[in-house]
Each structure stands twice: as structure tokens, then as C-alpha cells.
Structure 1
Amino acid sequence: MKLAPIEKSTTAHKAADQIIKLILQGVWKPGDQLPSEREMVEQLSVGRSTVREALQILSTLNVVQIVPGQGSFIKNVGADDLFRPDLISLLINDAAVLDLIEAREMIEPQTIRYTCLRISNDQIAAIERLLDGHEEALKAGRDVAEPAMRFHIMLAEASGNPVSLAFIRSILELLQAHRWRDNPEEFKQRELREHRELLSLVRMRDGDAAAAYLVRHIVDSAMIDASDRKGQNARRTTLDTTDTPS
């Protein structure tokens, strides 16, 4: 399969995107050698520097290995390599947070249905220990953002689907990176209670109830965060007005 010509704008990123799509489609497999730079220049209708930049992007993403004097080869790509929050977070701004929450609402509740079918007793016990540690950290006044996020990741891991897990982990890490500020105490207490209730539904293997509860949990958390953002912005506006000379 040949690469299709693309427009000149953001050509390197579009070229890299084409290659990733072909890998996901199984056209190119681990160990396969990519076309030469000259062939890619012709197929993409771009300059050699653009091709080299695209290959460098893929190398940074751990998708391609560039071997001097030999060419570029597809690496053994896992789902985690194609969804790197540390890289794509640079493209996310506050306006995209709602899109991330919406994507989470699409994916995570459906994933938990499979978790209810596949989770083992050992995995349930491990999540219970996590929640106990979460509660101890909360009582001690320590930050609980990490165990709160880890709870959702462990549930996704128990689904047995690495692609869903990669999406969910990426979304949660991106949301965490763009968290407005430390959540209020009452939110943290409520979050822990809801996590325990959600685990109870998972333990009962009730996929429908767990999915419905998780949707409410995601939406309620988003509404609390949005309200907090609005309040902080209002206070900032008041301070700015007060500080402005008359």
C-alpha cells in the first residue's frame, strides 16, 4: 500500500499519522522496513526534510527505530506506545478538558462491564487494599490524587483489554495534568465513598449497575470541578477589579 499525497500544512505530523494508521491497520508489522526517504518523498509529495522530521517524531514516540545506513524499521509497538500522555498533553488546553471528560464517559463505563465479567478475587482484594491506603492518606492529610486515579486504572486493568486500558490511563493522566487545583476536602471524602460503592457493585458482578454508577461519578466530579473553576475565576475577577486603580 502506498502513502497518499498530503497538503503542505503540518506535513510532518500528517505523515507520521499516516504511518501510525497503517501500523494499526496491520499493513506494516514489527520488523518491517519503511520505504526509503526518496520513496516517501515521492509518495507523500513533500520535501526530504519533512520526511526526516516525521521519522524523528515516530522515533520519539517509540514507534520507529532509525538505523543509520540501513533505514527505518517498525518497532514492536504496544498500545501504550501509541497513546503517550507525556507527549500529547502539550496539545491539550483547557478548552479540550470537556472533550476528555466526554471521551472518558464514552469509554470507561463500557470497560467496567467487562471488568465485572473478568475481575479476579485477587484483583478485588488488591483494589480494596488501595482504598484502605487511600483512606489512611486522606486522614493524614496527604495528597490522594494518585490513589484516586490508580483506582480507576486498576479497574480498567481488570477488564483484560489493553487498548481500553491505554485510552483510560491516557485520559486520566491528561485530566490530572490539567487539574485546576487541589480538590476540596468534602470532594475527597465523597470520592472515596463512591469508589468503595463502585467496587461493591463490581464485586457483585453487576455490570449494568456499575456502568450507570460510574457515569454519575464521572459527571458529578466534572460538575464539581467546573463549579470550582467558575468560583475561582469569579474571585480572581473581583481581585483584579479591586486592584485596578480608579
Structure 2
Amino acid sequence: MTISTANKARESAKLRSRALQHEIMALILERGLLPGDPLPTELELVEELGVGRNTVREALKVLQAIGIVDVRHGYGMFVAKKKLDALAVTLEFHARMSLAHSGREAVELVDVRQALESELIAAAVDAMTPESLAAVRAAVEQMEADAARGHSLVEADREFHRALFAPLENALLSNLLDVFWAAYSGMHETLSPDAVDLAETSREHRGIYDAVAAGDKELATARMRGHFDGIRGLISRTVGQ
């Protein structure tokens, strides 16, 4: 077999696998299955879709990797619950890799987070309850305590942003924030520890909290934007070293 023929064969196999993945997803939609519902067995899929077992198995591996199918060994296959783990891994990898070069992907990640959180913080202020506000305050106080001890702020920072937008009760937003945070926290490990001003970071979050607590949506939005401007500057300094 020539190289050209081998390449064509591989490309054809990829196209068949991709088509089969779409067929399985179409089957899930047509049957009205929901996250957690069982899928047909491999053998049932082979018979229904008219393809080989190995082909079905490869397609299922891809669907599992992208979060469509959940394979539980000894139990069967199920429609996966809504997760964006694969996206988080991809974003983290490219963001961290970019820090050794131009930093472009890392900055793009910050740009998207800034646009999302700055746009939605006003709605979060409107939806804030006393209990929700207490959770945001607790995260700020933990950040301040961690900063005073010279400890990492990563976990408290994550809890701050999670608690801030929890009142919106938007599962997709929560998942996206988790994705961005997973990517950012991984990227953060690549940054020089000395580059992060712990006290200033905790002060920025205290400022956002104060604006939210006061119900000042305009100030909260401005301070959230400023917070991400600071992160962008940190990336620029890291890349420029």
C-alpha cells in the first residue's frame, strides 16, 4: 500500500467514525434520553447501526472523551451528565503552553472570562440573597487570611467566583466557570509565585464584594473588569521575562 493510499484509508476511517458518532448522538436525541439514562449495549448498537463492534467501540471512546457517553465498567453505558471536562483540559494545555511563547491563548482565556463575568455580575447583584452574600464574604475573608499567611489563593478565589454567580442558578454558567477556572488554575501554576501580589489580589476581591454588598451594579462591573485587567498584565509580565 502506498503512502497516499494509506492516508486515504485513514481519512476514510475517520469520516466513518465521525458519522457513526453522529448516528449514536442522533439515536440518543430521537429516543428522548436524558443524562443518566442507559444506552443500548455495544451489541445492540452493532445490530441497529449495521457496523462492526470495533467500529462502535471506537466511536463510543470518542463520545466518552467529549462528555456525551459515560461508560461504567460492570454497569453499562449511559448518557453522560453535563460536564465540560474535556474542554477544560484542552484550554488549560494551550493556555499553559502559550505562556512559554506569546501568551496569546492565555490572554484569550482571560478575555472570555472577563466578558462573561463582567456582563453577568449585575444580574448576580439583583439575584443576591443574604445567604448568598454571606458565602461571597466568607470566600473573601478566606482569601485575606490566606494572603496574610502567604498561602495560595487559588481555592478561595475559585469559591469567590462560584459563590458570586451561584444566585443566578444557571447550570451552564456554573459549568463554564468551572472550565475557565480549571484552565486558569493550571495556568497559574506556570506563573512565577513571586509575580502574584497576594495582598493586592485579596483587596481586589474585597472591592468587588463591597460593591455587590452595596448593590452598586455599575461599580461591581467596573471592579470586575479591572480585576481581569490585572490578570492580563500578570500574563504579559510573565511572557516578557
TM-score under structure 2 length normalisation: 0.71
* Comparing 23-32 and 100-109, the one that deviates more: 23-32
1:48-76 CA distance string (max 9 Å, x none):
544322312434566424589x985424x
Equivalents in 2 of 1:25, 1:98: separation in Å? Answer: 40
Pair 159,7 (structure 1): closer, same or farther in 2 beyond 3 Å: farther
Aligned partner letter, 1:54:
A
Equivalent residue for 1:64?
Answer: 69
1:141-186 CA distance string (max 9 Å, x none):
2222221232112212232211111101211110110223244377
Matched, 1:195 2:205: yes
**1:116 to partner: Cα distance:** 0.6
Q: 2:58 aligns with which of 53, 60, 79?
A: 53
Q: State whether residues 115 and 159 of structure 1, in contact with CA within 8 Å, keep that contact through their aligned partners in structure 2.
A: yes
Matched, 1:115 2:124: yes
Matched, 1:171 2:180: yes
> What is the SS of the residue equivalent to 1:193?
helix
Pair 174,17 (structure 1): closer, same or farther in 2 beyond 3 Å: farther
Aligned partner letter, 2:163:
M
**1:121 to partner: Cα distance:** 1.0
How many pairs were matched up? 219
Aligned partner letter, 1:56:
K
Indicate the RMSD between aligned Cα atoms, in angstroms: 3.8
Pair 157,67 (structure 1): closer, same or farther in 2 beyond 3 Å: closer
* Comparing 177-186 and 117-126, the one that deviates more: 177-186
Equivalent residue for 2:147?
Answer: 138
Q: 1:224 aligns with which of 212, 231, 234?
A: 234
Q: State whether residues 83 and 170 of structure 1, in contact with CA within 8 Å, keep that contact through their aligned partners in structure 2.
A: yes
**Aligned-pair identity (%):** 19
**1:22 to partner: Cα distance:** 8.7
Q: 2:216 aligns with which of 206, 224, 227?
A: 206
Q: State whether residues 116 and 205 of structure 1, in contact with CA within 8 Å, keep that contact through their aligned partners in structure 2.
A: yes
Aligned partner letter, 1:214:
M
Which has the larger share of helix?
2
Q: 1:92 aligns with which of 91, 94, 107?
A: 94
Equivalent residue for 2:160?
Answer: 151
